[in-house]
Amino acid sequence: MANFHFSTPAGLPRARAFAIPFDGEPGKFNAITDVPGVSVGYTTLISGNGPLEVGHGPVRTGVTAILPRPPADISSPCYAGFFSGNGNGELTGIHLIEEVGAFSLPITITNTHSLGVARDATLKWVAANRPEALASAWGLPVAGETYDGFLNDINGHHLTEAHVFAALEGATVGPIEEGSVGGGTGMSTFEFKAGSGTASRRVSWAGDTYTVGVFVQSNFGKRRNFMIRGRRVGADLAEPRIVQGTPRAEKSSIIVILATEAPLLPHQLKRLARRVPLGIAWTGGLGYNSSGDIFLAFSTANSEAAAGRSGRLASMTSIPDVDIDPFFDATVQAVEEAILNALVANADMTGRDGNFVPALPHDWLRATFGHAA
């Protein structure tokens, strides 16, 4: 049986394959899908080479779908909280989350100029597959974005409703791919190829064990700041460099989705979201001016209370605030590892106008940290 802590389903190495000494205990798949009921799907679009021709390519983009609950229960709300570390980006639906502490329907993440397509296609998919969810109510789905215009024909608007439908319908539980897949296809981090990454941590409390799972679309950071487990490695990794056929604008971002089945209330989930930047900082991310650093945390517990019924008291359970610190630990640890997984499970990529982003060198990782047995 494959050890999915060390490799993705397609056989790409993950950070643990290089004996990087992470903190905490990961879940079975070390993924957001370790949280029961959470599934992830991708549509990846890669085509064309050479000079940019808007509307024709080259194309290096896609969309990621995260279903907080199984499709049959997708309209059931989840308690949630969000935090913006730096607001140069977009995550739809957050005004309602701030108001009522909950959201429903799938989450999608894509490139900046396809955000509206992803959001609207999600509503059409729900209307076609779970029409009762919208029969007497409106939908405000969560959709996030990061910028992939250095490699991708971002103004060509290549993502379609059909691509979003495919990601939603293809969402699976268990181990998932990482790197240049889905919305992360055209992204880079610390001037290395990055994109989609995930990790999880187990937290024991009062005789029960819960999971904190994280998914990142990682597209941020300057090489000089890059750190791995507290070691400043940017100077050691001056090469290989990005090759710019056209000027590279400084447009960096990271979207982080955190899931748990632990019974946490909206204010507690917001507190977890506020700890996400600490995990980013452990890798060298400093939240620069152009970066859209936006984070959503949700819990699949207390579904009946989150839905509410008119005229009836809502009963719920909650871990007390005084015991929340281990969940903060798990958040920071999982965010750090998810970012490194997005970097490690990757390869060089050339996009529009010959723009080139190198992969984090595996030989350097092996020489620096070793190789897992």
**What per-residue string of b and e applies to 220-233 under the rule 16 or more CB within 10 Å gives b?**
bbebebbbbbeeeb
Tallying the residues shown for the chain, one arrives at 373
Long-range CB contacts (within 8 A, 24+) of 95-100: 96/140, 97/142, 97/296
What's the CA gap between 119 and 93, in Å, rounded?
10
CA dihedral angle for residue 70, residue 126, residue 216, residue 36, rounded to 10 degrees: -10
Instruction: Look up residue 143 and give its amino acid.
Output: A
Q: φ and ψ at 64, to 5 degrees?
A: -115, 135
Q: Which residues form the catalytic set?
A: 253, 291, 293
- Residue 321, C-beta contacts closer than 8 angstroms, at least 6 positions apart: 268
- Residue 176, C-beta contacts closer than 8 angstroms, at least 6 positions apart: 8, 9, 29, 31, 32, 33, 40, 198
